[in-house]
Structure 1
Amino acid sequence: MNWMEALYRTYEDNAQQVGKNSSEERDLKKRTITPLFPLYHGSQNAQITVVLDGYGNFRRAEIVPTGSQQTIIPVTEKSGGRTSGLCPHPLCDKLQYVAGDFTRWTNNSKSGYKEYLNQLECWKDFDPSNATLSAIFAYVLKGTLLEDLVESKILPVNENSFLMKKWTGEKNDTPAIYAALGVVGIDAILVRWRVEIPGNLVPDVWKNKEMWNSWIRFQESRGQNTGLCYVTGETTNLATQHPARIRNAGDGAKIISSNDSSGFTFRGKFDDSKEVCGVSREVSQKAHSALRWLISNQGWRDDSQAIVAWSSRSLFMPGPWSDTRELLEMDPDEEPETIQYTAEEVGRKLRTKISGYKEEVANISKVFIMGLDSATPGRLSITFFNEMDSVEYWNNIEHWHTKCVWWQWSEKNKLRYAGAPSPRTIAEVAYGKSVDEKLRKQTVVRLLPCIIKRRPVPPDLVDACIHKACNRSGLENRDWNLAVNTACALFRYQFNSTQKQHHYTMSLDRTITERGYLYGRLLAVAELLEKAAQKASSDTERPTNAEKLMQRFSSHPHSTWQTLRKALDPYIQILTKNKPGWKNYYDKELASIHDLFDQTDFINDSKVSGEFLLGYYCQKSDMFNKTSSSKEEENSQPKE
């Protein structure tokens, strides 16, 4: 199934959702949710509602609050994809189209009033029994919209009796319309209609299904452009233009476009764009509407990049771009104490959640994953499209979040959990938070097949994360911890996926004799020993030698250890004097690690691999968390 057919089938399977903001209540980010549009409809943000009676007389005008501006409007094939030039929407549009006195009040000669009025009249004549439509046409024909809005104190004017594009008076006296406009200029105000007729149960035109159906019938009665639809295989009315505004209301990029008939687009291959491919108007409208709806409801956005995962009958599924915390929604609400989710607990929660999804999609065989990005301001490219078996998809998601796992930390909620990092986090760890936008998005796309198809993580990304984690001196403490956690998760996933005899765990394994792992343990003990001496001598806490030399240690472990070991002597003396129990503890720990070394491995000064970070992290974690009630306080090791 191709991407357009998948979206078309999704629209058909969810036709009952048309016009509903189905996920508005569950959306925690309070973002605007784009509904599934009726056929030949779109949406725009309206700033003014004009209220009429059944005879087309002006009653009042209201400023639309910021959170209620999204408005479903009828669109033509051309206006739905308009980017420049005069091309009116049929009913609700900007002042330059709907106001007959636009030129008078703005001194702007670029008005589309006549085009708008002619189009509205054609629709009215097609459906003469539509009282709402007749009332709107009767009012628009008067050409007094701006005069009425000015007299109603909705729009302010300057001393020349022109609309004020910017408020120049006192700030406290700013008219409410400017708050509703946001970044939109006053010329771009969009007007929507309410027609109050006795017995009319839905006066809000943008919510009136009878108006939706009237426009659909009118559109389907219009001129024919018959041809073969490559999606359905039927001979039908083909689209000549395709919708824009896919990712948001201001998005002018199109997935399908063929407006360069005078250039080199078809030369040498085709005589006409119709020979390239044919898509019916209905299929194009429904597919693009479904894509808008999916991206708005459950898609992932990163600047111009959009990624969405769905199945045609079970929509609201977590996607492969989430980290484990987002997938399981583990954040506690107003939780005063730190919560820790172990790997076993996370795995159990994950299996329970995914089992629920598997039951929900038991009768659904396919899951679709689609990525979009802007090739140019006017062109939207499909960066990837995958069709997968639904059970395979969920099994692979579970595999990633239970295998590419290390301890993660949510600073905001004081939440420690065993989970997988998100693709964006991996990209920012590998290349830095200020990573080039294009490189970050490319990295996310490279990682998605690793999650949904169990492909190996690219080695260069693993190496980049390990290098960043070893470069401790160049990072803030929070960023460094994130880098270590991410690097450990990726290396462990990579190593365990290729090795059958030995797998690394998230806890300290005292039987491992691999030189990198052991050198990581030595560095951790050296760091904690020096910190313990600082505390014992009531010295100001400062970066330890182990922290400063971490990057050099990872590249030349033996020679650096010789330097570091000598630097520990003053701190060992401090512990001997002030905390002899602590000194004995660290001596035993260092001796036990040295005993595990093969002498050849110990004197090998070549660079260590990612095991170094695993040993370092596990050793520190073990020493922080270990407690013993049988020891006196001075003999117990320091805690973090």
Structure 2
Amino acid sequence: MSWLSEFVDVYNQNEKNLGKTNYRVYHLKKDVEAKKAFQMLPISHIFFNCQLQIDLKMDGSFAGASVVDDQRTIVPATIESSTRSGSGAYLVPNPIDDKLQYVARDFSDWSGEEKFAESHNKYLEQFKDYLDFLEDYGDQDVYQTIWAIFHYVSEGDIIQDLQANKIFGDAVTKKDVAKNKYFNSSVRFNVRNSENIKRFEDRRFFDAWIRYYQQVLKDSASCGELNVGTDYITGAQNVILTNKHPKGILDNAANAKLISANDSTNFTFKGRFLTADEAATIGYEASQKAHAAMKWLLTKQGFKIGNRYYLAWEVNGKDTTDLSIVNQNPLFALAQKQLAEKSEINTNENIAENLRKVLIDGAKEDNYSLQGAVHLIELESPVNGRFGVVYYQSMSLQQYINKFSAWYGKIAVDDRQSFFGLKRVCYDIYGDKVDDKRLAATVSQLAHMILGSQIVPWSLLSAIYNRAIRPASFDDNKSWHRVVRTAAKLFKAYYDEGEIKPMLNDNYHDRSYSFGRLLAIADVIEEGVLQKSENNEGRVTNAKRYMSSFAQRPLDTWKIIYTNLQPYLRKSDYSFKASKLIDEIFASLDAEDKHLNDPLNGKFLIGYSQQRNNWYQKKTTSK
């Protein structure tokens, strides 16, 4: 359970963030941002959606009520209340903040159901035990605040106060009130104070409940109500164990649990073990910490495709940071900026070494330990109620950097040192309308490949090749050129030959590579003339029109393209340069090769992409 222990470490190293609200910014579109709040959940607490807030004075009297926008609230919880469900849930209240059916002593009078009186009694009984503990706790502010809430819920009539405060609108009769949407809502309590600090955001109240509940668990274990044993996450012995684990880790599967052994009649553990405890025993505290850290990291820096979540992290000297390979991360952002200023891009090894140095320098600047571990995990919820780990890998930051520097050295096909996201690569391979299931599977495949063998699967190469040679299927040239460039990068990594360099190699005379160069020259010449002429807006060049046929029968198709190119050569400012290059490339082809007209391989796209880039680069330099 190494990955669970890593999440426990994340919790321990980020305890300073407990309960603090931070925001993750999403860039939905250009100049359009969205923010999502995230907090590190303290142990023995849960996130609870509270639609109402009741404000009290320090003497426990009612001071007002309101409907809240920021509904997600951190509230204390017991093992039972955090996992309650079924017909007996009405007897399992949270300690303080909960649904009105638990906290309001007059709820039964308004609803007409007597059983909720029992819910309230159970709530008060549990609440009173906590208040008794706080009397000797030492923090009088905490005790006085909790006392004010207890006094109100035990002496006041909440439903009546809410009705008088117009929370239920103009409803007057019990029947109308019971039908109101807020009648079955959840409520959080706040006691007004001079510092204007909300109780449910105050670290002191988190710590008070944690200390109390740890004592409750110890007392339960001493009398045999809870098991004590070895925690398989941390390896600690004689700790309080639990078989009830938090849910709500994944946003799109609120009830999904990562660890569950409550299915004693089917096949959760049957056939291998007699009881669930024979499979594994997990400590309550470790489980709480691991799930809280997982939820925090997923919201803070996780990446979701379909029903699969991707997460990468490393704990440096300052904070737990995002080192995701799926989308951009801080080290790559630094590398993007610094590599743009470097001109030495002669070999794959040269690019890899430059990138490695930049990433290592960036890591040192941000106090990373090169020997520290980078963790990568994928989670998926294939069915309702369950989710699991489909992939996990851990490596040192040094190894992580080496893998990436080697990969970006392999795929460099021009002077643009860009780090494309894996999701964007998937769209280039399969198109923007690819379904989420295939998208998630492809992202996983690419991530595992980059951090593993770095051998590009032929299935991906075949798919992007078939898209790249059909420019007519694209709505615009920009999208098509991006796909061609991505295809060239992937094929370059696949062939990984010394003669295929990051920049155009005039001395490399592979048949497919040379034909790709020829097509690029024809394309840029015709494109340049069309751009200058009138009434030719949106016209497709012959090179693009015949590209699919060219890839299948290059020699035969080149005759057609070259014949159609002649009028454009006469009008082009670069006629001499183009004619000279075409003659040189054609002369390098073996006229006796009986396979000269055979279908081209992926090197054709590398030659095409590099020749186009080289053409415009030299043109810009000369100007």
Which of the five TM-score ranges fits, normalised by the shorter chain?
A: 0.7 to 0.9
Distance 1:217 1:108 in 2: 36
Could you tell me how far 1:323 is from its partner in structure 2? 4.8
Could you tell me how far 1:242 is from its partner in structure 2? 0.4
Which residue of 1 is the match for residue 381 of structure 2?
Answer: 374
SS of the counterpart of 1:31?
strand
CA deviations over 1:161-217 (Å, ceiling 9, x no partner): 635989xxxxxxxxxxxxxxxxxx74664322211367xx57522123332233223
Distance 2:308 2:166 in 1: 42
**Contact 2:429 2:467 (C-alpha < 8 Å) held by counterparts:** yes
**Contact 1:426 1:465 (C-alpha < 8 Å) held by counterparts:** no
Which residue of 2 is the match for residue 212 of structure 1?
Answer: 206
Which residue of 1 is the match for residue 372 of structure 2?
Answer: 365
Distance 1:540 1:107 in 2: 78
Could you tell me how far 1:466 is from its partner in structure 2? 2.0
Which residue of 2 is the match for residue 64 of structure 1?
Answer: 68
Distance 1:311 1:396 in 2: 16
Distance 1:210 1:630 in 2: 68
Query: Under a length normalisation based on structure 1, what TM-score does the superposition of the two structures give?
Result: 0.81
Which residue of 2 is the match for residue 552 of structure 1?
Answer: 549
Could you tell me how far 1:395 is from its partner in structure 2? 2.2
Letter of the 2:297 counterpart: L
Q: Compared with structure 1, are the counterparts of its residues 236 and 598 closer, same or farther at alpha carbon in structure 2 (3 Å cutoff)? A: same
Match of 1:282 among 282, 285, 289: 285
Distance 2:621 2:41 in 1: 66
Could you tell me how far 1:618 is from its partner in structure 2? 2.1
Which residue of 1 is the match for residue 243 of structure 2?
Answer: 240
Could you tell me how far 1:120 is from its partner in structure 2? 2.5
Q: How does 1:388-399 map to 2 (within 5 A)?
A: 388-399=395-406
Percent identity of paired positions between Structure 1 and Structure 2: 28
CA deviations over 1:417-450 (Å, ceiling 9, x no partner): 4223222122222222222212211111122122
Distance 1:20 1:163 in 2: 36
Could you tell me how far 1:84 is from its partner in structure 2? 5.5
Could you tell me how far 1:473 is from its partner in structure 2? 1.4
**Contact 2:331 2:359 (C-alpha < 8 Å) held by counterparts:** no
**Contact 2:359 2:401 (C-alpha < 8 Å) held by counterparts:** no
Count of residues in Structure 1 that have an aligned counterpart in Structure 2: 585
SS of the counterpart of 2:188?
strand
Could you tell me how far 1:367 is from its partner in structure 2? 2.2
SS of the counterpart of 1:311?
strand
Could you tell me how far 1:141 is from its partner in structure 2? 2.6
SS of the counterpart of 1:372?
strand
**Contact 1:253 1:374 (C-alpha < 8 Å) held by counterparts:** yes
Letter of the 2:368 counterpart: V
Q: Compared with structure 1, are the counterparts of its residues 487 and 319 closer, same or farther at alpha carbon in structure 2 (3 Å cutoff)? A: same
Could you tell me how far 1:513 is from its partner in structure 2? 0.8
Which residue of 2 is the match for residue 540 of structure 1?
Answer: 536
**Contact 2:24 2:38 (C-alpha < 8 Å) held by counterparts:** no
Distance 1:138 1:523 in 2: 84
Match of 2:596 among 592, 600, 604: 604
Q: Compared with structure 1, are the counterparts of its residues 486 and 163 closer, same or farther at alpha carbon in structure 2 (3 Å cutoff)? A: farther
Which residue of 2 is the match for residue 138 of structure 1?
Answer: 151
Indicate whether 1:503 and 2:506 are aligned: no
**Contact 2:363 2:370 (C-alpha < 8 Å) held by counterparts:** no
| RMSD, aligned α-carbons | 3.5
5+ residue gaps, structure 1, are 167-184, 333-338, 408-415, 632-640
**Contact 1:358 1:394 (C-alpha < 8 Å) held by counterparts:** no
Could you tell me how far 1:560 is from its partner in structure 2? 1.9
Q: Compared with structure 1, are the counterparts of its residues 601 and 88 closer, same or farther at alpha carbon in structure 2 (3 Å cutoff)? A: farther
Match of 2:104 among 93, 99, 107: 99
Distance 2:251 2:50 in 1: 15
Could you tell me how far 1:156 is from its partner in structure 2? 2.1
Distance 2:355 2:67 in 1: 47
Match of 1:262 among 249, 262, 265: 265
Which residue of 1 is the match for residue 321 of structure 2?
Answer: 316
Could you tell me how far 1:533 is from its partner in structure 2? 4.3
CA deviations over 1:337-386 (Å, ceiling 9, x no partner): xx977775998677434423246233753222111111312111101111
Distance 2:383 2:73 in 1: 28
Distance 2:412 2:419 in 1: 5
Letter of the 1:131 counterpart: Q
Could you tell me how far 1:259 is from its partner in structure 2? 1.6
Distance 1:349 1:30 in 2: 32
CA deviations over 1:489-516 (Å, ceiling 9, x no partner): 21122222xx3x42322x3322221111
Could you tell me how far 1:532 is from its partner in structure 2? 4.0
Q: How does 1:153-552 map to 2 (within 5 A)?
A: 153-157=166-170, 162=176, 186=182, 189-196=185-192, 203-220=197-214, 221-222=216-217, 223-224=220-221, 225=226, 226-231=228-233, 232-248=235-251, 251-313=254-316, 314-323=319-328, 327-328=332-333, 351-358=357-364, 360-362=367-369, 364-406=371-413, 417-453=416-452, 455-477=454-476, 478-496=478-496, 499=497, 501-505=498-502, 507-535=503-531, 538-541=534-537, 542-552=539-549
Q: Compared with structure 1, are the counterparts of its residues 581 and 18 closer, same or farther at alpha carbon in structure 2 (3 Å cutoff)? A: closer
Distance 1:629 1:212 in 2: 64
Letter of the 2:314 counterpart: S
SS of the counterpart of 2:48?
strand
**Contact 2:14 2:320 (C-alpha < 8 Å) held by counterparts:** no
Could you tell me how far 1:280 is from its partner in structure 2? 0.7
Distance 1:619 1:420 in 2: 21
Could you tell me how far 1:2 is from its partner in structure 2? 1.0
**Contact 1:245 1:252 (C-alpha < 8 Å) held by counterparts:** yes
Letter of the 1:531 counterpart: E
Q: Compared with structure 1, are the counterparts of its residues 629 and 486 closer, same or farther at alpha carbon in structure 2 (3 Å cutoff)? A: closer
Could you tell me how far 1:40 is from its partner in structure 2? 0.9
Distance 1:147 1:330 in 2: 62
Q: Compared with structure 1, are the counterparts of its residues 188 and 487 closer, same or farther at alpha carbon in structure 2 (3 Å cutoff)? A: farther
Distance 1:535 1:212 in 2: 67
CA deviations over 1:204-257 (Å, ceiling 9, x no partner): 221233322332233222322222222224022101200111134972211101
Which residue of 2 is the match for residue 174 of structure 1?
Answer: none
Distance 1:283 1:293 in 2: 15
Could you tell me how far 1:517 is from its partner in structure 2? 1.3
**Contact 1:34 1:297 (C-alpha < 8 Å) held by counterparts:** yes
Could you tell me how far 1:603 is from its partner in structure 2? 5.9
Which residue of 2 is the match for residue 32 of structure 1?
Answer: 36
Distance 2:456 2:554 in 1: 26
